[in-house]
Structure 1
């Protein structure tokens, strides 16, 4: 009879038999010098990034296109030297901004376009250092300020920033999701960080488009899942590391397109497996409920498993 102790002992052995991946890349094309990069194309020197194209020097970005030197940018395009930018287009040197277009050196601003060196603006356009200008005046003065050295502009913006309070959290468009930071358009979520478009979830970090999930990091598009890391497109899974497109599975590592797997590593396109051994559906459904009940009753969690 397979007990919880024997299960974890064998799972640790299986995990130790597999060589560790030098880099974590999934469904990428023409990707060099990258790690923890998923579903990306034509990116260079990119880390903790997914679904981004034609970019370089990115860290922790999601759905970012034709951009460079950006950190924590989401759904943005044609951006350079931006940090914590959400839905921005053709912008340079933004910091904590949302829904910006054709703007430069702005901080804590949202829903603006054609702004330069502004702080804490909402729904504005054609402003330079928070001064409202006409469209003609803005276009006349912009080349002059664009010729400044970046450090000179940032110094001026820093001086301007002393006139405004700094909020302790960064959030936009959330519903009943008060606890967390850098959260955008989440609904009924609790203690989320660097997260967007999640629903009915909690304890998320660097997570996007998840529903009814808890204790997840660096993962997206999962449903009904718990204790997940570096994974995508899971359904009803728990204790998962570096796996994608799996369902109804537990304690799986580096698996893809699997369902009804329990305690497996390195499997692809498999079902009804326990500890990498193929079983019949009847055998699987007889063993797993008993094993899972013992693991839960003893509150094993991850057990001795390390990755």
Structure 2
């Protein structure tokens, strides 16, 4: 076992890992997998935006880089435009100097794009975004319409304050879910509509505060109601009032904590450790990935 030189925790360097490092003539790692992940991601600013001026035109712009960035920063239109050429920043390599030192100088000299936002329509305040319309403060999103404060999602319409959603509409504060309509505060749900504070519900409709249901309708706190009884109970709960809404959430949290939970959310994962893996084989400590084979420490 090796000791991490950052957090001092012990971690294993497997024989398979060493074979991989030898292939690239790389030394054994000196940090544990968690610290290595932090080290790889520390450069990444995903959702903090700054107001600054373009290094090319001096015009005001929004960017993930502040005014103190060592590299020049251009607006999206300028970066994709013809007023500069990346080849103009080329230079000879000095074999008497460190590669990393010279590479850092090149990185600091080449212009960066303020926000990576492809084909936006009225969606200027988005980052790592593709083909979105009428979206605001969304990051890592694709083909979304009329959304705000959404991340790592695609195919959404009228969704707010949500993450890791796919093909959903009219959702608020939802997480890790697919094909939802008119849902609030739901996590790990699929193919459902009109849910409020539900967890791991699939193929359900008109449910409030439910956990682990399949193809159910008119349930409140995992109890079955007739359609008429359900509508009466909803009126009594007064979920249109914020204080009552919070009470419902608190009760649901207590209910969900008392229920058994899946060990992971992997699907068709053979010999894998990690979470949210789909169609993977021989993946070790990998997360939020699909179609992996013989991989490790990736996300």
The answer, yes or no, to whether TM exceeds 0.5 is yes
For 1:192 and 1:18, the matched residues in 2 are separated by 33
For 2:250 and 2:106, the matched residues in 1 are separated by 56
Tell me the SS of whatever aligns to 1:142.
Answer: helix
Contact 1:189 1:199 in 2 (8 A): no
Once the two structures are superposed, residues 15-72 of structure 1 have per-residue CA deviations (whole angstroms, 9 ceiling, x without a partner) of 4332222222123221132222223222101122223222111122222222111122
For 1:17 and 1:126, the matched residues in 2 are separated by 61
Range 145-154 or range 76-85, more displaced: 145-154
Q: Find the counterpart in structure 1 of residue 61 from structure 2.
A: none
For 2:175 and 2:286, the matched residues in 1 are separated by 18
Find 2:128's aligned residue among 33, 36, 42.
36
Q: TM-score scaled by structure 1?
A: 0.56
* Alignment of structure 1 residues 240-251 onto 2, 5 Å: none
* Alignment of structure 1 residues 89-100 onto 2, 5 Å: 89-100=181-192
* Alignment of structure 1 residues 93-132 onto 2, 5 Å: 93-132=185-224
Gaps of at least 5 residues in structure 1 are: 204-213, 218-307
Once the two structures are superposed, residues 64-95 of structure 1 have per-residue CA deviations (whole angstroms, 9 ceiling, x without a partner) of 22211112222222211112222222211112
Greater per-residue strand proportion: 1
Tell me the SS of whatever aligns to 2:188.
Answer: strand
Find 2:147's aligned residue among 46, 55, 61.
55
Kindly indicate whether residue 264 of structure 2 is the aligned counterpart of residue 169 of structure 1: yes
For 1:32 and 1:177, the matched residues in 2 are separated by 43
Q: Find the counterpart in structure 2 of residue 277 from structure 1.
A: none
Kindly indicate whether residue 236 of structure 2 is the aligned counterpart of residue 144 of structure 1: yes
Q: TM-score scaled by structure 2?
A: 0.57
* Alignment of structure 1 residues 67-106 onto 2, 5 Å: 67-106=159-198
For 2:234 and 2:191, the matched residues in 1 are separated by 21
Gaps of at least 5 residues in structure 2 are: 1-91
Contact 1:192 1:202 in 2 (8 A): no
* Alignment of structure 1 residues 1-307 onto 2, 5 Å: 14-145=106-237, 146-148=239-241, 149-171=244-266, 173-174=267-268, 176=270, 178-183=272-277, 185-188=278-281, 190=283, 191-195=285-289, 198-201=290-293, 203=295
CA RMSD of aligned residues (A): 3.1
Tell me the SS of whatever aligns to 1:107.
Answer: coil
For 2:213 and 2:271, the matched residues in 1 are separated by 24
Tell me the SS of whatever aligns to 2:251.
Answer: helix
